[in-house]
Amino acid sequence: MGQGSRVSYFYDQEVGNYTYGYDHCMKPFRIRMAHDIIASYGLDKKMTVLQPPRATAHEMTQFHTDEYIEYLRRVTPEVAEIMPSYNECFLPLLDCPPFDGVYEFCTISAGGSMAGARRINHGEADIVINWAGGLHHAKKGEASGFCYVNDIVLAILELLRYHQRIVYLDIDVHHGDGVEEAFYTTDRVMSVSFHQFGNFFPGTGDVKDVGVERGKYYAVNVPLREGIDDETYEFIFRRVMRDVMETFRPSAVVMQCGTDSLSGDRLGCFNLSMQGHAACVEFMKSFGVPLFCLGGGGYTIRNVARTWAYETAVLLGEKLDPSLPYNDYYDFFGPEYTLDVPASNMTNMNTRQQLEQLCSEIHEHLHRIPHAPSVQMQQVPRDWPGPYEGDEYEYEQDESELITQEDYWTLISRYFDEHGLVDSRNQNVASVADMVMEVVDNKGHFNKSDELVTDRTATLASSWQRMCS
């Protein structure tokens, strides 16, 4: 697999500006810290660095419900306070507060993951990295576990347009329930989750949870006990993933690299070192199939930043000096100032006998599925219109030239009313939704130019008139 120019890395410098709240465990700021270490080592010069496009509401509703995305777009802390009962339908307040800019934060995460999937689809990268992604708990119509929009599901849906079979791999300490649930009935996505199981959020992911209908045995769960160390984790990880890759033979892998499985995490109870965690990434890279690495959990932020920077180097095939170069957040990494997250002397509650039994049970499940199941040949749908055209990191959009889809609908409605084009047989302007795609410009936005709006609206009005006549 290629290195350097074949590795694409998505980063938006604004992602570190958002905060879930002072005392909340989730800190988007950790992504900025990781990027600063990456840049201080010069790794950004050895890969294609891209600014992710912002995902549109239309794109996010490929998975999520319209009502949920519309709520995220409108909610503020003040709105949530005024309408607590309505808020409870979508956001569990303690885990998923309606913080300022929550919708914009979601568009960055989802936009990067969808754009990364497109780069793999178009053969522009062998490896893609989006540390702002990996929000695996979000459900179709509600937030869960610090996750609002499930960028992973959106990325996999994009990959499925070109790839017959996808493996989703999750090494977060928490079970990847949102992604597993989304693909629980299909045989085109095999979800594999290594996680702590028992009295631990979200409480799902038993080895017996294997999928249903066509998706039966395509969900692989590896429930583990607290304190698992590098050697034990490597033993079961390699056994299970080699079996998965040989049986399912995917054409792409999406890997959620949550770092709350590291030793010393504020929420997790595993005992992996940075090298042990990164060994999983390196092992998956060795299969030579397109690999999409995403972020996820991780609540001791100095360890998160170090590990994702180190794993970026692993994906690039670069060796790094263990002494951290000076960077903007250098004081966070004292007193040792090294690129390392060591394991502790925590007791490992996982026995070799228990892990052997897990491997045996999973092996039995995998051998009940057809070897590399086929998918009927079909035409690849056209790509979603969007701002991403392969532009590099410096690309910026001129927001003054853009208006929202809702504003454009207002213009259309006003034009129809002024020209008497809406008659009693059809008062619903939304019935021309299919025609609206004709007025989307080549970047997936609606242009603000009066001349262009008038011209395109006239075209729609003409079509509307023919429908009503």
Q: How far is CA 333 from CA 44, 132, 454, in A?
A: 21, 21, 57
How far is the C-alpha of 406 from the C-alpha of 280, rounded, in Å?
45
How far is the C-alpha of 419 from the C-alpha of 415, rounded, in Å?
6
- Cα torsion 232, 234, 237, 243 to 10°: value is -110
Find out whether 456 and 414 touch, Cβ atoms under 8 Å.
no
Burial of 288 (0-12, 13-18, 19+ CB in 10 A): exposed
How far is the C-alpha of 446 from the C-alpha of 287, rounded, in Å?
42
Find out whether 404 and 79 touch, Cβ atoms under 8 Å.
no
E strand or H helix at 105: helix 102-121
Residue 147: φ, ψ to 5°: -115, 130
Burial of 444 (0-12, 13-18, 19+ CB in 10 A): middle
Helix axes 352-366, 230-248, angle to 10 degrees: 10
Find out whether 109 and 59 touch, Cβ atoms under 8 Å.
no
Find out whether 347 and 270 touch, Cβ atoms under 8 Å.
no
How far is the C-alpha of 348 from the C-alpha of 369, rounded, in Å?
33
202 preceded by cis ω (within 30°)? yes
Find out whether 17 and 79 touch, Cβ atoms under 8 Å.
no
Please give the full DSSP string across 318-371, using - where no structure is assigned. Answer: ----SBPPP-TTGGGGTTT-BS------------HHHHHHHHHHHHHHHTTSPS
Question: Is 35 considered catalytic here?
Answer: no
Given the residues 35, 137, 163, 277, the one annotated as active site:
137
Spell out the residues 6+ positions from residue 11 whose beta carbon is closer than 8 angstroms to its own.
31, 35, 49, 50, 51, 52, 131, 132, 393
Find out whether 3 and 271 touch, Cβ atoms under 8 Å.
no
How far is the C-alpha of 217 from the C-alpha of 386, rounded, in Å?
35
Cα 355-356-357 angle, rounded to 5 deg = 90
How far is the C-alpha of 464 from the C-alpha of 225, rounded, in Å?
62
Catalytic residues, by residue number, are: 137
